[in-house]
């Protein structure tokens, strides 16, 4: 494999992966945090006391994770 192809290969692989993987949404992370794997209990054990809010910490964390992983670089 020549030098030019060696540089091009990672880009092609990234494109193939991107075509096969659907974008994650906040609800996907929320379901992971609150699902049967008990991640919510682990997450809650690290949370400080907080008042009831419109967006509780697990929802806020889910939305942040999607924003941080988004390609647009907004986070």
32, part of any domain: yes
What is 15-39 written as a DSSP string? Answer: HHHHHHSPPP-HHHHHHHHHSTT-H
**Confidence at residue 30, expressed as pLDDT on a 0 to 100 scale:** 79
pLDDT by residue (tens digit) across 60-73?
888 888 888 777 76
Hunting for tokens 């988004």 — which residue is that?
70
Structure tokens that stand for 46 in this block: 């690290």
**Confidence at residue 18, expressed as pLDDT on a 0 to 100 scale:** 65
70, part of any domain: yes
Structurally, the chain folds into a number of domains equal to 1
Structure tokens that stand for 37 in this block: 């794997």
2, part of any domain: no
**Confidence at residue 5, expressed as pLDDT on a 0 to 100 scale:** 55
Residues of the domain holding 53: 23-75
Residues 36, 29: Cα–Cα separation, whole Å: 13
Structure tokens that stand for 21 in this block: 């993987």
Instruction: Find the farthest-apart pair of alpha carbons in the chain and give their distance in angstroms, rounded.
Output: 60
């Amino acid at each position: 494999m020549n030098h030019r192809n060696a540089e091009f290969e990672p880009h092609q692989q990234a494109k193939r992966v991107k075509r096969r993987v659907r974008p994650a949404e906040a609800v996907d992370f929320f379901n992971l945090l609150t699902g049967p794997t008990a991640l919510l209990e682990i997450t809650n054990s690290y949370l400080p006391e907080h008042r009831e809010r419109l967006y509780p910490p697990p929802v806020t964390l889910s939305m942040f994770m999607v924003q941080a992983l988004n390609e647009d670089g907004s986070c």
